[in-house]
Amino acid sequence: MYDFDKMTDRKGTSCSKWDNMSSMFTEKGLLPLWIADMDFRCCEEAIEAMRQRVDHGIFGYTVLPDSYFESIAGWMQRRHNWTVRKEWLVTSVTVVSALNIFVQAFTKPGDGVIIQKPVYFPFEECIQDNDRRLVNNELIEKEGYYTIDFEDLEEKAARPENKMLLLCSPHNPVCRAWTEEELRRVIDICSRNGIYLIADEIHMDFVFKAEHVPVGTLTNYSKLAVCTSPSKTFNMAGLKMANIFIPDEAMRKEFTRRSKSQCGIIPNNPVSITGISAAYAKGDKWLDEVKQYIWENFQFVDAYLKEYMPKLKMTSPEATYLAWIDFSGVGLSGLELRSFLRGKARVALDEGMVFGKSGENFARINVATDRTVVRECLDRIRDNLAR
Ligand SMILES: Cc1ncc(COP(=O)(O)O)c(C=O)c1O
């Protein structure tokens, strides 16, 4: 059993979460539960493999060995019942860089790209930074539970100027694990209207109670791509390799042309390859334990809110390690909520308004950390709400 309560001090490692708070927060002394990585050490099997690779001492130009694909394919098969083919895999530096490349390669300036707010804010950035038009298919929220507005999606997908949907599955920040039925409806709408379906499944390994349904198990649609990454699953965001599956050959070639030939991106880092392969091959037990700990953290937050702050409501945590908390019951939203969290409670969270206007009553708490940190965060909020 891994000991997740044994907090590893990350300060002084140049990590964004603890060492680079000033990039986002001007206030000093905040407790950080913001950016989406974990405060847990990665699985020992991956650390040991990387240690041995580092000991070799030569880090020259590198190709992807077959074992890299095989370890990922094995994981997708045994954990998600998804059979992936070797030729589908293209590596990218990050999922966000892949999303940018998809937008650039398969839409033109001025084309509409659909997203479903509130959503991970780089989705919006990669549309606007590439001079495409943001088309929002706002999620429907009812008592803290989010669903897709299919009527609106149908109508927006049918407009010829709209070309692509960036689907967040599972959805950050609203904690939804989309069901097979919901995903089938999304696929149906996209395929009837020729819309590129780019599924960001980076949170696929953090689905609680239900199962994650990989969109690739439901369709052979030729305009589909699925973005996955060890960055969330194994806490490897800094290793900078994401695995993108593009079943259609022409689409894959165009993605590769844009990424490698035009931009020179070949993200084959020898240390990352070694660590990622080992994690996917041997990290099952570690992930199961991490998930259990995170699940208990969600339960802890739920119980704490019910006992001490019943006016705050947590969205049912179907997926991700990011608790989505509604502050409207205490009359806080937008900039007021921001100044309360930073100025009074002194916690660094992702304030909901960055994910879209409908998120402004919310704050996102990253619970992939030691439970004492989660408790301290909630204590700070409670004590200052009471004042
Ligand atoms: C939905 C989603 N996609 C992508 C990312 C970032 O992944 P990467 O660092 O590989 O770009 C995140 C990180 O929080 C995320 O939540």
d(CA 226, CA 216): 7
242 lines ligand 1 (CB under 6 A): yes
Closest CA to 346 of 301, 321, 312, 378: 378
CB 80 within 8 A of CB 204: yes
The 10 Å Cβ neighbour count of residue 57 is 6
pLDDT over 90 (residue 275): yes
pLDDT tens for 152-198 read 999 999 999 999 999 999 999 999 999 999 999 999 999 999 999 99
User: What local confidence, expressed as pLDDT, does residue 328 receive?
Assistant: 96
- Ligand 1 centroid vs 217 CA: distance in angstroms? 22
User: What local confidence, expressed as pLDDT, does residue 260 receive?
Assistant: 86
CB 233 within 8 A of CB 222: no
- Ligand 1 centroid vs 80 CA: distance in angstroms? 20
For the chain, the first-to-last Cα distance in angstroms comes to: 41
Give the residue-averaged pLDDT of 38-61: 97
Name the residue type at position 102: F
d(CA 205, CA 288): 9
pLDDT over 90 (residue 338): yes
Per-residue confidence band for 248, with pLDDT thresholds at 50, 70 and 90: very high
94 lines ligand 1 (CB under 6 A): yes
Give the residue-averaged pLDDT of 344-365: 96
CB 370 within 8 A of CB 39: yes
d(CA 196, CA 25): 36
pLDDT over 80 (residue 387): no
**Number of C-alpha atoms within 13 angstroms, CB side, residue 306?**
7
CB 245 within 8 A of CB 86: no
pLDDT tens for 282-324 read 999 999 999 999 999 999 999 999 999 999 999 999 999 999 9
**Omega of the bond prior to 170 within 30 degrees of 0, cis?**
yes
Give the residue-averaged pLDDT of 358-372: 97
d(CA 357, CA 234): 31
Per-residue confidence band for 7, with pLDDT thresholds at 50, 70 and 90: confident
Which 8-state DSSP code applies to residue 302? H
Ligand 1: which atom is nearest the Cα of residue 93? 10
User: What local confidence, expressed as pLDDT, does residue 361 receive?
Assistant: 96
Sorted by sequence, the CB contacts under 8 Å of residue 112 that are 6+ apart come out as: 132, 133, 134, 135, 156, 159, 161, 162, 163, 164
Give the residue-averaged pLDDT of 328-335: 96
Name the residue type at position 93: V
User: What local confidence, expressed as pLDDT, does residue 264 receive?
Assistant: 85
**Number of C-alpha atoms within 13 angstroms, CB side, residue 227?**
27
For 16-43+284-385, CATH number? 3.90.1150.10
The rounded mean pLDDT for the chain is 96
Residue showing tokens 């390859």: 273
pLDDT over 90 (residue 261): no
d(CA 132, CA 57): 44
User: What local confidence, expressed as pLDDT, does residue 269 receive?
Assistant: 95
- Ligand 1 centroid vs 117 CA: distance in angstroms? 15
Residue ranges per domain, the chain? 16-43+284-385, 58-282
Name the residue type at position 130: N
Q: At what angle do helices 180-193 and 150-158 cross, to 10 degrees?
A: 20
- Ligand 1 centroid vs 97 CA: distance in angstroms? 10
201 lines ligand 1 (CB under 6 A): no
User: What local confidence, expressed as pLDDT, does residue 4 receive?
Assistant: 81
96 lines ligand 1 (CB under 6 A): yes
Sorted by sequence, the CB contacts under 8 Å of residue 153 that are 6+ apart come out as: 114, 137, 165, 186, 189
198 lines ligand 1 (CB under 6 A): no
Dihedral angle sign, alpha carbons of residues 213, 219, 225, 230: positive
Q: What percent of the chain is modeled with pLDDT above 70?
A: 99
Which 8-state DSSP code applies to residue 53? H
237 lines ligand 1 (CB under 6 A): yes
pLDDT tens for 76-135 read 999 999 999 999 999 999 999 999 999 999 999 999 999 999 999 999 999 999 999 999
For 58-282, CATH number? 3.40.640.10
231 lines ligand 1 (CB under 6 A): yes
d(CA 246, CA 267): 17
- Ligand 1 centroid vs 387 CA: distance in angstroms? 36
169 lines ligand 1 (CB under 6 A): no
CB 25 within 8 A of CB 361: no
User: What local confidence, expressed as pLDDT, does residue 211 receive?
Assistant: 92
Give the residue-averaged pLDDT of 46-72: 97
